[in-house]
Amino acid sequence: MTAVDIKLIRNGATTILNGGLVAVPTETVYGLAADATNDQAVARIFEAKSRPQFNPLIIHVTGAEMARRYVAMTPLSKKLAAKFWPGPLTLVLPRRQGSAVSLLVSAGLDTIAVRAPNHEAAQALIKTVDRALAAPSANQSGTISPTSADHVRQSLGDRIDLIVDGGPCPVGIESTIVKVAGDKVTMLRPGGIARETIEEFLARPVSNALQAKNPEAPGMLASHYAPRAMLRLNANAPQPGEAFLGFGEIAAKGADALNLSKSGNMLEATANLFAHLHALDRNAAAHGLKTIAVAPIPMEGLGEAINDRLNRAAAPRGGTL
Ligand code: TXA
Ligand code: MG
């Protein structure tokens, strides 16, 4: 979809206003969107994804103006939004009094996570509905995130009402989530905007959330983003019977090997991460390989987010942190 398909967007908007579920591309990953102010529609998201109820959802708005309907935009959050929106930065902010957002979205917390996606189709859909859209990644909970319409179809298929196909997602990894409280900014999830980029802009360090016992911080399930195959991280070469996900010079040959970025480019590696994991997982299943070995990824810039997702994908299945 080069230009936005107006008819498809109108169709999507009607579906959402009727309480339905629409998969829509964003710059990060495909989202499974529903009317964030409709309890039943939001409940359908959890059901379609088989998502644990305690895991709250992000709401999507066109920009800071619209965000104000639902959350308290503090001076610091306004500054961050002015710089990074639309784009892959999610702000966790106090729920505004009288906010129409379903309590199910925030799973009982008094804060709401909000972002403005930098994607024509997502923007057009939100604008047409003229309400915040709750949208987690459009995949079964705990599996690899979808960066193409095909991924969505394979994971959710007939559990949803409509898929807006907008081609591959340019960023390819979920948004960075920060909590803004007064003048404090805490990182809850590394993602599409590197920590260093935010720190440079604010001219101070951004601290990490302490890993709470309760799943307040995002992605608390240790095993998340999991392929069917096991992952072996920081591998310099595949062992017999392993598929290989390379990076830069550390690469392998053959049908069961892919490279995140031959030139070691972090943006390219991020955009390829989930698509390559999907592809290698399919190959591994077809060729009877039980493990995908993965080359070491440097911790610079977006490498923090890539390593976060790889560590979760490699974690023992079903465990919690
Ligand atoms: O890039 C993205 O952020 C994608 C696209 C579709 O926009 N969305 C996404 O949403 O990743 P989801 O639902 O998969 O991730 C939401 C994360 C969860 O891990 C959740 O714990 C955290 O945001 N979260 C949501 N509301 C929160 C809150 N009030 N406080 C702390 N964390 C929150
Ligand atoms: Mg997800």
- Per residue in 111-143, pLDDT (tens digit) is 999 999 999 999 999 999 999 999 999 999 989
The domain ranges of the chain are 6-208, 230-314
- What's residue 215's pLDDT? 46
How, if at all, do strands 291-294 and 242-246 pair? parallel
Mean of pLDDT values over 247-274 = 95
Question: Rounded to an integer, what is the distance from CA 142 to the centroid of its chain?
Answer: 12
What is the pTM for the complete model shown?
0.90
- What's residue 236's pLDDT? 97
CA of 227 to the centre of ligand 2 (A): 13
Pick the residue with more confidence: 312 or 33? 33
Say if residue 177's pLDDT is above 90: yes
pLDDT tier for residue 213 given thresholds of 50, 70 and 90: very low
| Residues whose beta carbon lies within 6 Å of some atom of ligand 1 | 26, 28-29, 31, 55-58, 88, 90, 92, 106, 109, 111-113, 117, 135-137, 174-175, 177, 188, 216, 218-219
* Region for residue 210 given its phi and psi (left: phi exceeds 0; alpha: psi -120 to 50; beta: otherwise): beta
CB 117 within 8 A of CB 28: yes
Kindly report the CATH class assigned to 6-208.
Answer: alpha beta
The helix/strand/coil state of 233 is coil
Q: Classify residue 203 by burial, with Cβ atoms within 10 Å: 0-12, 13-18, 19+.
A: exposed
Q: Which of 185, 200, 221 is nearest to 311 (CA)?
A: 221
pLDDT tier for residue 316 given thresholds of 50, 70 and 90: confident
Mean of pLDDT values over 233-261 = 97
- What's residue 216's pLDDT? 47
Alpha helices in the chain (DSSP H): 6-17, 39-49, 64-67, 75-84, 120-129, 149-156, 195-202, 266-287, 303-314
Pick the residue with more confidence: 2 or 42? 42
Pick the residue with more confidence: 19 or 52? 19
